[in-house]
Amino acid sequence: MSYIVSIILGIVEGLTEFIPVSSTGHMILTAKLLGFDDSTPEMKTFMIVIQLGAILAIAWVYRERISGLLGMNKKAVTIFKNRAPLKRLDLVHVLLGIAPALTVGYFFRDFIKSLFSPSTVLWALLAGGVFMIAAEWFSKNKGRPTAKEIDQLTYKQALMIGLYQCISVLWPGFSRSGSTIAGGMFSGASYKASADFSFLIAIPIMFAVSGYEMLDAYRYLSLETIGHFAIGFLVSFVVAYLVVIAFLKSIQKIQLRHFAYYRFILAALFWIFIMR
């Protein structure tokens, strides 16, 4: 691996990990276009390392929210209005949002790995795009969001988002953020509230998955590869941070269907460069 490849993969990971376009699909396509084998143990370890960079970026974006959930920021934990505490997201919401995916991922880990293939990702890109368009239509025409902000989410909505997240766990390429954001909109949450909750629950989910994978992958870290890993990690961190900040600022301008259209284009590229 060259440093240029490390930078390119770090950029791709940072750009795609948290927006609903499927980072898995982008990684497979990028590997094909660059002409290298992404199935070697060293490359799999590299992918885990750059994913950790993206996770730390989102954790930094939501650092105040996290400190409030953990009781480390008293001002964030309790806000008063007319001497009554406002409804606020708590750890129960987070646990309900991550428990289904962690459970499914743990018990079906080997089965899920067997599903990783270009054809699986191709169909997941298409199905996920249709799912996102349907969610946006439902939210605008049928749903009438009851939770416009993340702090208005109910426990039931948090659980429903967690259950929708299982689609992406069982179907590589469907997109974790795509399934949770669209699932949130189907559950009565606004686009913004769904996106915020999706990003927040990504932190424990991805830390758990990446940490588990590193238990075996760390042996492939060496003095020869550490420079490439460090560059990829840093690039992924910076790009992911900028992408999430930009996404949250422009969320009303970039609708979910725009990402769905992009997924259809990516599926076409899959068909041209990988499937044929």
Q: Which of 274, 236, 240 is nearest to 61 (CA)?
A: 240
**Over the chain, what is the mean pLDDT?**
87
pLDDT at residue 87, rounded to an integer: 65
Q: What are the beta bridge partners of residue 84?
A: 81
pLDDT for 81 beyond 70: no
pLDDT for 52 beyond 80: yes
Q: Which of 178, 182, 166 is nearest to 21 (CA)?
A: 178
pLDDT tens string 18-40: 999 988 889 888 888 888 777 77
Q: Find the mean pLDDT for residues 142-154.
A: 88
pLDDT at residue 37, rounded to an integer: 73
Higher pLDDT: 83 or 183? It is: 183
Taking residue 222's Cβ as centre, other Cβ atoms within 10 Å add up to 10
Gap between the Cα atoms of 233 and 214, Å rounded: 14
pLDDT at residue 7, rounded to an integer: 94
Q: Find the mean pLDDT for residues 131-148.
A: 90
Higher pLDDT: 215 or 145? It is: 145
pLDDT tens string 85-139: 456 899 999 999 999 999 998 888 888 878 888 889 999 999 999 999 999 999 9
DSSP notation for 78-104: --EETTEEPP---HHHHHHHHHHHHHH
Gap between the Cα atoms of 17 and 19, Å rounded: 6
pLDDT at residue 220, rounded to an integer: 66
pLDDT for 239 beyond 50: yes
Higher pLDDT: 262 or 226? It is: 262
Give the SS3 label for residue 189.
Answer: strand
32 Cα distance to chain centroid:
22
pLDDT for 82 beyond 60: no
Gap between the Cα atoms of 124 and 108, Å rounded: 18
For the chain, the first-to-last Cα distance in angstroms comes to 26
DSSP class of 40 = S
The radius of gyration computed from the CA coordinates of the chain, to the nearest angstrom, equals 19
Position 74 confidence tier, pLDDT thresholds 50, 70, 90: low
Position 73 confidence tier, pLDDT thresholds 50, 70, 90: low
pLDDT for 150 beyond 70: yes
Q: Find the mean pLDDT for residues 59-67.
A: 92
pLDDT for 59 beyond 90: yes
Report the percentage of the chain scoring pLDDT > 70: 91
pLDDT at residue 225, rounded to an integer: 73
pLDDT tens string 193-212: 999 999 999 999 988 888 87
